[in-house]
């Protein structure tokens, strides 16, 4: 295309040259007519000859240009120029000869025309040179383009061949993968068939197992019903006897290297036996056996949930309007606080009790029951009652009115959700008094009393109930000789032992059925007065340590709890009445 465009431009230029020479020829014809008027025959002949040459020159030039031989005909242009030049001289000579007949004006016109013709011829000559150079350049460019095209084509061919080879290799790999996938698919289909058959077999087994499971569930329901009946009978028997139920929990060993050769602890579901080796004369040993009976014994392997499950039926009875009191007793470090409070990821009796009460109340609310939950949390420290829910500096005193116990200037919080309880419970634990002793790095130096009061009202039957739950973590008993307390800790230990001794005296008075019981000898016994007068269902959990160094305290705790088990409080009654 590029060369075609160049050829068309050359043809246009040739057409322009042809037009110029046609114009020149017409003007020469006009000049010939003028020369004819002069009348010189010899001059006319010469003019005719030159005119014929001029006429033939453009045609020759055009033919040569069209044949792309412009460079070869430069001499024709030169001859044309010389001819015109000679013509000029001839005319000049003729002008001299015929000056009389030729006017000066016409000759000047002729000279001007000849000069113009010369200029145009020179321009044509320069253009022809340029066109020749363009043709040469175009040929060179064409040759270079041909080389580049060949190189590009060869490159494309090589790349195309490489690409074809790669495609072949990929295609072979894809075919291999396809065959592998086909084989894998066949294997999977076989596996599916096998599994489908297994599923059918399992479904058959499932139907059989479901039948057995239904039978087991029915048996479990019956067993649960029997257990409930058994518990109710036990409760009725205990209520009739009015006894304090006593559970014992044995803490796991803290010291793995404890010398246990001098003693041995054996336990069953309701019995603990301690076999103590006592050195006699002549390097002989006597075995002294201590036997203790309980309503329930929890070994070191028992967890928090197992302990709570055993008392949960009693906890739920507060929703029936009963008063329930559970207190943990034992020496320092025996696990009382862990049993009652627990830890965040393994809660104790207090948080588990509140959580279950909320769950059961949700079910009862479907039967038109409405609830109000009120909590308080105090500690008895050095015979002073301290409010743990608030930083209260007012003096708190115990009051008993109409079989109900309350504490003056104490904070009572109404809770609506389990989150409310958790927030107040954590705050109370942070406020409780603890200290470091020789026996325990974090010893509770006070008795803590958590109380949950529930007011129930049925909007349909107009029945009202009030249940009260007291959960008590007693401070640990300590021997001054072993605890090695000084100053403040000494005073704390003395007050703790005094209040626990008063508790023992009250228990002994109840066992002996004394006419006067010294409840006022300590704040602890005075606070528990209504619980010991047959107004509530009471459980004591005695916590003991299995370590040899604590053996004497363990035996003392077990003896005390055995005395408590003999105590008869009378039948507990529920606080239920109807609005008239």
What is the per-residue pLDDT for 397? 92
Of 12-21, 50-59, 181-190, 553-562, the poorest mean pLDDT is in 50-59
Report helix, strand or coil for 548. helix
The band of 142, judged by pLDDT with boundaries at 50, 70 and 90, is confident
CATH code given to domain 303-578:
3.40.850.10
Q: Which residues make up each annotated binding site for ATP?
A: 330-337
Using an 8 Å Cβ cutoff, are 397 and 387 in contact? no
pLDDT of residue 547: 86
Say what the pLDDT of residue 326 is.
96
CA max distance for the chain: 189
The 3-state secondary structure of 442-510 reads: CEECCEEEEEEEEEEEECCCCEEEEEEEEEEECCCECCHHHHCCCCHHHHHHHHHHHHHHHHHHHHHHH
Going by the annotation, the residues of the binding site are 330-337
**Does pLDDT of 42 surpass 60?**
no
Least confidently predicted of 59-73, 131-145, 368-382, 460-474: 59-73
Q: How far apart are CA 5 and CA 323, in angstroms?
A: 117
CB atoms within 10 A of CB 503: 22
- pLDDT greater than 60 at residue 426: yes
Among the listed ranges 65-74, 238-247, 558-567, which one has the minimum average pLDDT value?
65-74
- Kindly report the number of other CB atoms within 10 A of residue 25's CB atom: 15
Reply yes or no on whether the pLDDT at 520 is more than 80. yes
Q: Any idea which of 308-317, 435-444, 538-547 has the lowest mean pLDDT?
A: 435-444
At 39, is the pLDDT very low, low, confident or very high (cuts 50, 70, 90)? Answer: very low
- Write out the H or E segment, with its range, that includes residue 292: strand 285-293
What share of the chain in percent tops pLDDT 90? 35
CA distance 338 to 357: 21
Mean pLDDT of the chain: 80
Would you list the domain boundaries of the chain?
A: 2-154, 261-297, 303-578
pLDDT for residue 567: 82
C-alpha atoms less than 13 angstroms from C-alpha of 84 in its C-beta half-sphere: 25
CA distance 233 to 245: 14
Most confident of 246-260, 273-287, 462-476, 534-548: 462-476
- The structure tokens 């000759």 sit at 107
pLDDT at 111: 74
Lowest mean pLDDT among 1-10, 27-36, 79-88, 499-508: 1-10
Q: pTM of this prediction?
A: 0.60
Segment 107-123 mean pLDDT:
78
pLDDT for 71-99, tens place per residue? 444 555 555 556 556 655 666 665 555 55
Task: Identify the pLDDT of residue 61.
Answer: 45
Residue 322 DSSP class: -
Residue 8, CA distances (Å) to 5, 12, 140, 141 in order? 5, 6, 19, 18
pLDDT over threshold 50, residue 423:
yes
- The dihedral through the CA atoms of 263, 268, 272, 275 has a sign that is negative
| Alpha carbon distances (Å) from 47 to 44, 60, 100, 212, 248 | 5, 20, 20, 141, 156
Contacts of 47 (CB under 8 A, 6+ apart): 32, 35, 87, 90
The residue ranking higher by pLDDT, 358 or 238, is: 358
**56-70 burial string, b = 16+ CB within 10 Å, else e?**
ebbeebbebbeeeeb
């Amino acid at each position: 295309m590029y060369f075609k465009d160049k050829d068309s431009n050359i043809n246009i230029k040739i057409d322009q040259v042809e037009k110029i020479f046609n114009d020149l020829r017409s003007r020469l014809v006009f000049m010939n007519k003028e020369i004819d008027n002069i009348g010189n025959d010899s001059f006319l002949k010469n003019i005719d000859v030159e005119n014929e040459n001029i006429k033939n020159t453009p045609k020759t030039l055009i033919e040569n240009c069209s044949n792309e031989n412009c460079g070869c005909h430069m001499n024709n242009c030169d001859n044309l120029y010389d001819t015109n030049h000679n013509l000029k001289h001839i005319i000049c000579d003729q002008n001299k000869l015929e000056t009389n007949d030729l006017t000066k004006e016409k000759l000047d016109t002729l000279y001007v025309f000849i000069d113009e013709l010369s200029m145009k011829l020179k321009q044509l000559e320069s253009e022809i040179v340029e066109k020749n150079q363009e043709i040469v350049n175009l040929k060179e460019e064409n040759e270079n383009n041909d080389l580049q095209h060949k190189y590009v084509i060869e490159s494309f061919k090589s790349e195309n061949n490489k690409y074809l080879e790669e495609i072949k290799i990929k295609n072979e790999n894809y075919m291999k993968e396809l065959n592998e996938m086909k084989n894998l698919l066949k294997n999977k289909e076989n596996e599916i068939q096998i599994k489908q058959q297994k599923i059918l077999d399992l479904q058959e087994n499932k139907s059989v197992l479901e039948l057995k499971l239904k039978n087991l569930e029915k048996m479990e329901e019956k067993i649960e019903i029997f257990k409930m009946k058994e518990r109710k009978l036990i409760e009725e028997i205990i209520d009739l006897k009015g006894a304090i139920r006593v559970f014992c929990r044995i803490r796991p060993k803290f010291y793995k290297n404890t010398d246990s050769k001098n003693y041995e602890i054996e336990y069953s579901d309701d019995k603990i036996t301690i076999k103590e080796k006592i050195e006699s004369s002549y390097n002989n040993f006597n075995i002294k056996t201590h036997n203790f009976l309980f309503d329930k014994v929890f070994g070191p392997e028992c967890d928090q949930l197992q302990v709570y499950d055993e008392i949960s039926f009693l906890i739920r009875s507060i929703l029936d309007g009963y008063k329930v009191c559970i207190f943990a007793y034992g020496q320092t470090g025996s696990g009382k606080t862990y049993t009652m409070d627990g830890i965040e990821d393994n809660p104790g009796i207090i948080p588990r009790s509140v959580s279950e009460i909320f769950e059961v109340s949700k079910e009862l609310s479907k039967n038109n029951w409405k609830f109000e939950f009120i909590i308080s949390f105090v500690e008895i420290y050095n015979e002073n009652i301290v409010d743990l829910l608030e930083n209260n500096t007012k003096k708190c005193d115990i009051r008993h009115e109409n079989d109900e116990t309350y504490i003056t200037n104490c904070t009572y919080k109404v809770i609506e959700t389990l989150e409310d309880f958790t927030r107040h419970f954590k705050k109370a634990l942070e406020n409780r008094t603890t200290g470091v002793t020789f026996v325990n790095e974090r010893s509770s130096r006070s008795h803590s009393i958590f109380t949950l009061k529930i007011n129930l009202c049925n909007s349909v039957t107009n029945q009202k109930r009030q249940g009260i739950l007291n959960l008590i973590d007693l401070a640990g008993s300590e021997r001054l000789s072993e605890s090695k307390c000084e100053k403040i800790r000494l005073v704390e230990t003395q007050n703790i032992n005094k209040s626990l001794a008063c508790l023992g005296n009250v228990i002994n008075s109840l066992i002996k059925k004394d006419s006067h019981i010294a409840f006022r000898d300590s704040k602890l016994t005075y606070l528990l007065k209504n619980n010991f007068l047959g107004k509530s269902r009471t459980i004591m959990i005695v916590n003991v340590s299995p370590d040899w160094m604590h053996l004497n305290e363990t035996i003392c705790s077990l003896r005390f709890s055995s005395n408590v088990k003999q105590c008869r409080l009378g039948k507990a009654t529920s606080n239920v009445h109807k609005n008239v």
